[in-house]
Amino acid sequence: MSVIENALKRLQGQRPAATEAVAVEDNKAYGTVAHAGAARRREANGVEAPATGRIIKIDQDALRAAGLLPPAHQEHELAQQYRRIKRPLINAALGRGVAPLPQGNLLMMTSAVPGEGKTFMSLNLAFSMRLEEDITVLLVDGDVVNPRISQILGADKEPGLLDLVKDPSRSTESVILPTDVPGLAFLPAGRQDANATELLASSRMYEVVSKLGSEDPARIVLFDSAPLLVTTESQALAQFVGQILLVVRADQTPQRVVFDALQTLAEGKSVSLVLNQNLHRLHSGYYEQYGA
């Protein structure tokens, strides 16, 4: 039994499950890509073009070549796995068959330490969620220290999240960038600031996050955040979201590191653990949820 298996069993014994565990089998790579024709395409993303008129063009072939999307031969299998991951998250966000979680449409992707596959997971989950017929997805680069998604999408020089927090006169519409992928919009991290933690922990940040989550009742807001044990910015952001996904790399992340990361989160948070890069076929639930 691996250290992660032990960790999950201990979690189950120590904390009550928030929802039923969902089994996810992974095979070297993970995630999914938006398939053409897989869902009815909407004519608009639900977000007006910003003042600059810029639209983010997403080159999925380039993302795949960079290892940020799964190889073509694994797309179908992994698309099924991502459907299983996203379904309970969406249900909890929108109250479909279960009681909706407070701020449940505000999700944060994080990890304990770097190298767990957090950014890959954020991109692919966003692509999978945007296939839903009746929701839109706003992907937010909340890793204001190392804004990798902003860099990947060529938006690291654009105003974004930190600029919204620093300038109350700036509107969300002026910094949210539509993409050429229907149903998906992007909010960059914004211009870096030495006091980023204080900005993200501020009452103004609460106002910004609340507005992002309430402007459109059909919007899922997905924050890609920094690792919990490396920076304090991710811990500040965690207090404002309703659901947290913690990516754990199979056969690499020590059990104590997982628990140390969980200890940084406030009581009562809905936290999901996603086991990543597992090479073995699983027979039990490795997508685990618990109520902290």
Tell me the per-residue pLDDT of 144-198, one tens digit each, with 9 for 90 and over.
999 999 999 999 999 999 999 999 999 998 999 999 999 999 999 999 999 999 9
Structure tokens at 106: 């505000």
User: pTM surpassing 0.85?
Assistant: no
The residue range of the domain holding 51 is 3-34+44-291
- Judge whether 39 lies within some domain: no
CA dist 17 and 96 (Å) reads: 18
CA dist 158 and 156 (Å) reads: 6
- How does pLDDT run across 201-235, given as a tens digit for each residue? 999 999 999 999 999 989 999 999 999 999 999 99
- Judge whether 89 lies within some domain: yes
pLDDT of residue 72: 82
- Judge whether 260 lies within some domain: yes
Amino acid residing at 74: Q
By DSSP bridging, strand 106-111 and strand 219-224 are parallel
Whether residue 283 has pLDDT greater than 50: no
| Mean pLDDT along residues 8-18 | 44
Count of structural domains, the chain: 1
Greater model confidence, 145 or 32: 145
- Judge whether 231 lies within some domain: yes
CA dist 214 and 62 (Å) reads: 33
Structure tokens at 248: 């754990």
Q: Exposed/middle/buried for 85, CB within 10 Å: 0-12, 13-18, 19+?
A: buried
Whether residue 245 has pLDDT greater than 90: yes
The CATH number for 165's domain is 3.40.50.300
- Judge whether 166 lies within some domain: yes
Q: Name the packing angle between helices 3-14 and 255-263 (round to 10°).
A: 40
CA dist 9 and 51 (Å) reads: 50
Ranking 79-88, 133-142, 278-287 by mean pLDDT, the lowest is 278-287
Q: Are 106 and 89 in contact (CB under 8 A)?
A: no
Residue 248's DSSP bridge partners are: 275
